[in-house]
A and B are shown apart, each in its own frame.
Chain A
């Protein structure tokens, strides 16, 4: 079954079309990497999928449950707030700059949403948090505040925060871009471990090594459309489209 299904997504900002008819589905357990030049619409696609941005046209559904679909006139309409809240619980999003809550300890960052939103007991939420922190190699940092952590640690906490909600799918928007290069490895390891556990993931990244080592499928986007997609070997090592070639050539020259 498709965890995520997007059909004919259109999105404009101030009359300028940023996403032009994007269709994309992600199967359970699949890891998809999205690459492409700056301004090609990768983040906007992720933000539409995670309900942070409203789509102008097209449909969006999770696990067969529709979140938004076009009405008779073709304009996309969203389901009611209660339904959207339920759908939000199916995915998590990891931001480029973490967006941890600075006034909460690491533990509280991870447990607050399960307790406040999902009405879990404090004990249950803290148990889940502790095992997630162990998995992230952060068992001894539960009482720290975000400002006391390195970028890599903060990003691992934000991944734990997303996982604590029990999502079926995780989105990452350039999870290593705000990190020192030597710290990208620890995030990559975490994502690889999640992939082994069959977590469904959609990852926007600028790092080809990253895409190559973790993605089952690589999508190249440019100018608001999906230009090319396939395995990492196909798209990164043997691109068919001219725009993909130009983009990759520029990257390797840097």
Chain B
């Protein structure tokens, strides 16, 4: 049982990590698209973000999982389950992060851009050297909230039978007629969250050298 739960934990941590690795960078071009002056692109991103935020993640997960079969008649394979989770989570979280990035970028005073422009920085240099570092500091608190939500959201993968922590605890609990696996799962998520919160606090602390 312990070994099984260990596998479940590993899967949950893997879903969490891969989602962040995918969604955090993907959100940047989405945010840029959303802020673009090219109307069709900004409209498209706006719709994308509102659909991702306006429908349940579990539903999105089912759509990503079953779409290959219903749309393209590609038979569902067992291995695809895990990828479906990662794809759905990345697409969903990138939308949330994109809105956070956008708010962060838009909160940087215009004077920062103007000072950089007069000093001769290119658009790219202005963003990477002046705007982006300040944005990161500003978006840290809302990003931390999303990341903590993600820890708990990884359990939604049970909806398509991916063997992560929650799915496994549920299986073992009903097989052995015991509450212990659930308790173990609760402790796991709690500690996972505490670690994440601690790590984010460290990053915030690192960036507190300026105001």
Binding site for B on A (CB under 8 A): 50-52, 85, 88-89, 91-93, 95, 97, 99-103, 112-113, 116-118, 145-147, 161-162, 165
Contacts and interface: CB of A to CB of B under 8 A. Distances in A.
Interface string B107-120: 00101101101111
Given A85-B120, A101-B130, A117 B125 contact: yes
A116 B121 contact: yes
A116 B121 CA distance: 8
Interface string B184-211: 0000000000000000000000000111
Q: Is the interface of A mostly helix, strand, loop or mixed?
A: loop
A161 B116 CA distance: 11
A165 B119 contact: yes
Contacts, number: 58
Contact of B115 (A85, A88, A101, A147): A101
B39 interface: no
B118 A88 contact: yes
Interface of B: 109, 111-112, 114-115, 117-121, 125, 129-130, 133-134, 137, 209-211
A103 B125 contact: no
Contacts of A99: 109, 111-112, 114-115
A147 B112 contact: no
B210 to A, nearest CB: 5
B112 A113 contact: no
Nearest to B108: A102
8 contacts: A51-B117, A52-B117, A88-B117, A91-B118, A93-B118, A95-B111, A103-B210, A117-B120
Contacts of A146: 210
